[in-house]
A and B are shown apart, each in its own frame.
Chain A
Amino acid sequence: MSQSQQSEPRSGSVDGPADAVIQFRNVNLQVNQKSLVEGLAFEVLRGETLVLLGRSGSGKTTTLKLINRLLDPTNGEVCVEGTSTRSWNPIELRRHIGYVIQDTGLFPHFTVERNIAVVPRLKGWPENRTRERVRELLQLVGLDPGMFANRYPRELSGGQRQRVGVARALAADPPIVLMDEPFGALDPLTRAELQREFAALTKRLNKTIVFVTHDIREAYTLASRIGLFKDGHLIELDTPDRFASSMDAEAQAFNKSIE
C-alpha cells in the first residue's frame, strides 16, 4: 500500500457501513499472559462523541491506544477509516488522529505556539499557514494569542495547559480525536467550565471523538453514546438516555454516584 493512500484513506470503504470511522473486530490484547482487554467489538460513528467510562484499570485507556496504534492487538483487528491499523503506517495514522492525555504531555521546552504547531510542522505545512492556524486555535480554545503564544507551559495554569493540549490535538484538523481523561487533573470549577466549552466546541467541529473518563457527569455532559468498561470488557454501549436506565449493576453503580 502506497504512502499517499495511507495518508488519505477514503472514508466509507467496502469493509463496513459508511458512517463507521473506527471498528473493533473481536479485539484481545494480552501482555505477559495477562488480558488487558478482551472481545472488544464495537464501532465509532462519524461525528459522534463516544465516551468510554469505567473504573481505573478497566481497559479504557488501552482501548484508546489500540486506535492510534500505540498498542497492537494480540487477536482481532482495529480498523480506522476502513483500513486495519496493522496496514497503516503508524506515523501517518497518528498524524491523522488528534491525541490529548491527562498530563497534557506539553513539551516543556517549547512555547505554546510551538507546542500547537508540532503536527503541522511534522506534516510540512508552510510557515504562515501554521502560524495562522495556531492563532485560530488559540482563539477557539479561549486563549488570547497575543498573550499566550510565546509563553512556556510552566507559565500556564492547569486549565490553560489543557486548553493548549486540546488546541494541539486539533492543530492539523484531524478527523478523529482521542482524549484520555483530559480534564481529570483539574479543579472541579475549571473542569466544569472546560467541559461546557468543549461540548459546544464538538458540536461546531463535527469531529469523531473517543473520550475516556471515570467521571459519570462528564460522560453525560459530552457523550452521544457511552461505553461502559469493566475488567477489560465493554459491557454496555448505549445513548446517555438509555444508559441512565440501564439494569447493569456496574452502570447502576455509576449512576448512583451522582444521585
Chain B
Amino acid sequence: MKLIDYLVQNRSEVLQLTLEHLFLVLVATGSASLIGIPVGIILTRRTSLAKPVLAIANVLQTIPSLALFGFLIPVLGPYGIGRVPAIIALFLYSLLPIIRNTFTGVNGVDPAVREAARGMGMTDWQMLTQVELPLALNVIVAGVRVATVISVGTATIAAAIGAGGLGTYIFRGLRTVDRTLILAGAVPAAAMALLADLALGSLERILSPGSGGTIINRRRWVVGLGALVIIAGLVAYFNVGVATSGARIVVGSKDFTESRILSEIVAQTIENGTDIKVEQATELSGDLCHRELVAGQIDMYVEYTGTAFTAILKHPPISDPRTVYDQVKTDYASLFKLEWLQPLGFNNTFAILVRGDDARRLGLKNISDAARYAVNWRAGFGQDFMSRKDGYPGFVQTYGLRFSEPPREMDLSLSYQALANHQVDLIAGNSTDGLIEKLGLVQLEDDRHYFPPYEAAPIIRRDTLDRYPQVGDAVNRLAGRITNEEMRKLNYAVDAEKRDVKVVVNEFLSK
C-alpha cells in the first residue's frame, strides 16, 4: 500500500522517469533492429561470417553492464555519461538476440519452400523479401522481444551514469535502504517489461505464418508501433528542449546520500546567490564525477581531499590534512585545469563499523581491539574500498587483520544492511553516515591513524569559474560551515527519516 501511495503522490515524476526509461529502450532496440536485422540477413548469405559475428555479439552480451558503462566513459569523451552511453550499451546488448534470431529465422525457412522459390525463378532479393523474411518475421520479432525485455531491465542500471529512467528510484532506494523507493522503480520497470513482452509476443503470433493473421491486424500493429515511436520522439524533444536555455551550470554528485546532499547545498547556494540556473547530474558512481568534470560534462561537484589524493592522483596516502589539500589544489590546477574551492568543514573518513551489541559484548573501542576477533568474522566492503590504495590492502596490513573468508564485495549502501542483518560482521562505511545511528552500529577508532583525511570541498572547472566568477564567491561562503555533526544530521534526516533532500538542505541553509 505504501508503494501505491508513493506512486500516486509522485505520479508526475514516475511518469517522467517511465518515459525516460521507455525512450532509452525504444531508441536502443529500435536502432539495434535497424542494424541487427540486415546483419542477420547478410550472415545467411555469407555463412562463413556467421560464426565470428555471432561470437562477437555473444561476447558483448557477457560484459557486465556497469563495466560496459565504465568502459564507454573515456571512449566517448564529453558524451561519456547520460543517455548516449546508456543507449549505446543497450544497443550492444540488443544486437545478439536480434542478429541471432534473424539468422536462424531466415535459415529455418523450409528448404522445400526455398527450392520452390528458386526453381520458379525468383532472384535472391525476391526470395528474401517475398518468401524468407515474411516466413521468418515471427522469429525475428521474437528476437526483438527478447532484446526489448533485456533492455528494460538493463536500463535501470543506466541511472548509475545519469541516464535517468526508473533505475533512479532503485539507486535512491538502495542508498537510503528504503524498500518502497526500490519498489517504486522496480515494479513499474517490471510492468514495462511484461507489457513489452505481451505486446511483442502477440505481434509475433499474428505474424507467424501458421496463424490467421489478417492484413487489418497487421495494419493496426503498424499504427500502434508508429504511435510509440512518435511518443518517444516527443519525450526526447522536450527533454532536449529544457536543457538548452539561459546561463546554467551542472553540478554532479556521486551515488551516495552525502554527495547528493552536498550537491544540493552547492546548487541551492548558487541559485540563492546568483541568477544562474543549476542542473544536477546525480548517481554518478566510482570516479565518474571526476571523469565527467574533466570532460566538461559537468561543471563542478564536491570531492573529498583523500579521494583526490590517492584514488585520482595516485599518491601514497598521508595523514596531514593541510598537506593533502595543498597538494591536490596544485596538482588539479596543473593537470586538469580544475580549481579546488574552500573545504566545507567536515572530514568524512572511512569508518570501520561493527554491530552495537558486538561492540558492547566484546568491549571494542578501536580497530586494534577488533583484530583478534576478526578471524571468526566475515567482512563486507564496497567496491571503492576494495580497489583503493588507501583502502583494503593497507588497512588489513596496518592492523594485521585476517577474516574467516575473503571479504565480500558489495554495494556500499547494502553493506550497512548486511552488517545489521548478521550477513557480515565488519564493514567500512563513512564516518558521517546517517545509517550508523539508525541501525545502531558502532564506529571503531582508527588508533593507528591509517586512514587519510577526507575533507569535503567543491571542485570547479576553471573555464566555468572564469565565465561565472560569482559562483566561486557564492560557494566559498560555505567554507567551514558544515561540521561532522551537521553532516551526520543531514545524512540522518535523508537516510533514516526519509525526508526530501531539497527540503532538508533548504532548512539547513536558512539557519
Docked complex Cα distance between A101 and B457 (Å)? 80
Q: Known interface pairs A107-B131, A108-B135, A109-B209. Does A99 touch B122 (Cβ–Cβ under 8 Å)?
A: no
Q: How many residues on the B side are at the interface (Cβ–Cβ under 8 A)?
A: 21
> When the two chains form their complex, are residues B121 and A109 in contact, meaning their CB atoms are under 8 A apart?
no
**Which residues of chain B have C-beta atoms less than 8 A from A119's C-beta?**
120-121
Main secondary structure of the interface of B (DSSP, over half): helix
Complex CA distance for A95 and B135, rounded to whole angstroms: 23
What's the least CB distance linking A183 to chain B, in Å?
15
Tell me if A105 and B121 are in contact (CB < 8 A). Answer: no
A-B contact count (CB 8 A): 65
B112 touches A92 (CB 8 A): no
Q: Is A203 an interface residue (CB 8 A)?
A: no
Question: Do residues B115 and A91 form an inter-chain contact, with CB atoms below 8 A?
Answer: no
**Residues A91 and B121 in contact, CB atoms below 8 Å apart:** yes
Given A104-B112, A107-B113, are A68 and B119 also a contact pair (CB < 8 Å)? yes
Q: How far is the CB of A109 from chain B (nearest CB, A)?
A: 5
- Report which of A99, A122, A154 forms a contact with B210, defined as CB distance below 8 A: A154
Q: Do A118 and B115 touch across chains, with their CB atoms under 8 A apart?
A: no
Which A residue's beta carbon lies closest to that of B210? A154
Contact with B along A83-114 (1 / 0, CB 8 A): 00000001111111001011111111100000
User: In the complex where A95-B121, A122-B122 touch, is A104 in contact with B116 (Cβ < 8 A)?
Assistant: yes
B209 touches A108 (CB 8 A): yes
Q: Are A118 and B209 in contact (CB under 8 A)?
A: no
Instruction: Decide yes or no: A101 and B115 within 8 Å by CB, A118-B120, A122-B126 being known contacts.
Output: yes
Contacts of A106 in B (CB 8 A): 113, 116
Cβ–Cβ contact A99 & B209, under 8 A: no
Contact A99 B112 (CB under 8 A): no
Task: Please determine whether A105 and B135 come into contact, CB atoms closer than 8 angstroms.
Answer: no
Tell me if B134 counts as interface (CB < 8 A to partner A). Answer: yes
Q: Which residue of A lies closest to B112 (CB)?
A: A103
Residue contact B210 to A105, C-beta cutoff 8 Å:
no
- Residues of chain A lying within 8 A (CB to CB) of residue B110: 103, 105, 108
Give bound CA distance, A136 to B251, whole Å. Answer: 77
Q: Is the CB of A99 within 8 A of B116?
A: yes
Residue of B nearest to A68 (CB): B119
Instruction: Assess whether B123 is interfacial by the CB under 8 Å rule.
Output: yes
Contact, CB under 8 Å: A108 / B113: yes
User: Which residues on B sit within 8 Å (CB–CB) of A154?
Assistant: 210
B448 within 8 A of A: no
Given contacts A99-B116, A101-B119, A108-B113, 18 further A-B contacts (CB under 8 A): A92-B121, A93-B121, A94-B118, A95-B120, A95-B121, A101-B116, A105-B110, A105-B112, A105-B113, A106-B116, A107-B117, A108-B110, A108-B209, A109-B134, A118-B120, A118-B122, A168-B120, A178-B119
A-B CB contact pairs (8 Å), 21 listed: A91-B121, A92-B121, A94-B119, A96-B121, A99-B116, A99-B119, A101-B115, A105-B112, A105-B115, A105-B117, A105-B119, A106-B116, A107-B113, A107-B116, A107-B130, A107-B135, A108-B209, A118-B120, A118-B122, A154-B210, A178-B119
